[in-house]
Amino acid sequence: MKAIRVSEYGGPAVLKLEEVPAPQPGPGQVVVRNHAIGVNPVDTYLRANVDNRGPKLPYTPGSDAAGVVEAVGAGVTGLGKGDRVYVGGTVSGAYAELSLCEQGQLHPLPANVTFAQGAAMNVPYGTAYHALVDRGRAEAGETVLVHGASGGVGIGAVQLARARGCTVIGTAGTERGRRLVLEQGAHHVLDHTAPSYLDGLLGLTGGRGVDLVLEMLANVNLQKDLGIVALGGRIVVIGNRGTIEINPRGAMNKNCAILGMALYHASPKQLVGIHAALVEGLHNGTLRPAIAQELPLKDAPRSHEAVMEAGHHGKIVLIP
């Protein structure tokens, strides 16, 4: 089968399309034939060995995909050849025609959802749910700012917060991105490239600020967030690409909490809850991943460039 392999850490050019042996399922394992593969920013960090977190070389990147069950190993129950699934983690990597998975890494993909949308679920929507619910403790009636709402995680956060009964304010840096955020359910959208956009946010909340900030670029925005979070509010840091100096008195004056999060820290119990909620959201139509680009598997290097571009919106997927 064809798969993307990384034999050295580095830039997008280290992603090479190669022919490799097809995986075989062991006990409790399932082989999935991928119809679409999700590309996430974390894939680029691992490829470049940021913070020395790169996988052992050589490896096949990726954790997210959607497709159909190709084969099941001994002891697997409730799944059969041809079943539609989305993948939340793999044993062998997702950037391939076939992926080997543990049974618990597979989740049912409703018939009303495309494979490309299924490939957008695990990291983007799982991260959004974990940040909004498990870490941010969002409640119906609260106001949520999705600070950087036009990407895969941001769109997921907008839809999940709206479904939870929150008033949702999103930001985006392009006109196209702002239209997308409104289309996906935000009550209000702001241009975070405008110098006074946070004045507009305070105007929308009557000067009170927002109860919860979901922050996608903390190295740029964290100090700003302290100025617009409500008394007793929460700031959940989802994304960061550098360092920032903040005045801690802002957190003191607002009696607010700054919370870090990463999906890989979710407990097994939390992961069960996350995917139960995501599958139900797909079933009832409240969750609708927005696909920006579908690229052939051989263009994996281009996908890693695109997912990190400023103004990127929606989800990028690879098609084997």
Q: Which DSSP string do the residues of 96-150 spell out, in sequence order?
A: BSEEEEEGGGEEE--TTS-HHHHTTIIIIIHHHHIIIIIIT---TT-EEEEES-S
In the chain, % of residues over pLDDT 70: 100
Say which residue, 312 or 28, is predicted with more confidence: 28
Cα–Cα distance measured from residue 260 to residue 217, given in angstroms and rounded to the nearest whole number: 12
Q: What is the pLDDT of residues 45-83, one digit of tens each?
A: 999 999 898 999 999 999 999 999 999 999 999 999 999
Domain ranges of the chain: 2-120+289-319, 124-264
CATH architecture of structural domain 124-264: 3-Layer(aba) Sandwich (3.40)
CA distance readout (Å), 69 to 37, 87, 115, 280? 15, 11, 13, 20
16 phi, psi to nearest 5 deg: -120, 135
Give 8's contacts (C-beta < 8 A, 6+ positions apart). Answer: 14, 57
Q: What is the pLDDT of residues 200-219, one digit of tens each?
A: 999 999 999 999 999 999 99
For the domain spanning 2-120+289-319, the CATH number is 3.90.180.10
User: Which tokens in the block code for residue 316?
Assistant: 């990028």
Cα–Cα distance measured from residue 114 to residue 194, given in angstroms and rounded to the nearest whole number: 36
pLDDT class of 107 with cuts at 50, 70, 90: very high
DSSP 63: S
Average pLDDT (20-47) is 97
Average pLDDT (263-280) is 97
242: three-class secondary structure by DSSP: coil
Average pLDDT (101-114) is 97
76 within 8 A of 39, measured Cβ to Cβ: no
Q: Which DSSP string do the residues of 153-181 spell out, in sequence order?
A: HHHHHHHHHHHTT-EEEEEESSHHHHHHH
Average pLDDT (11-39) is 98
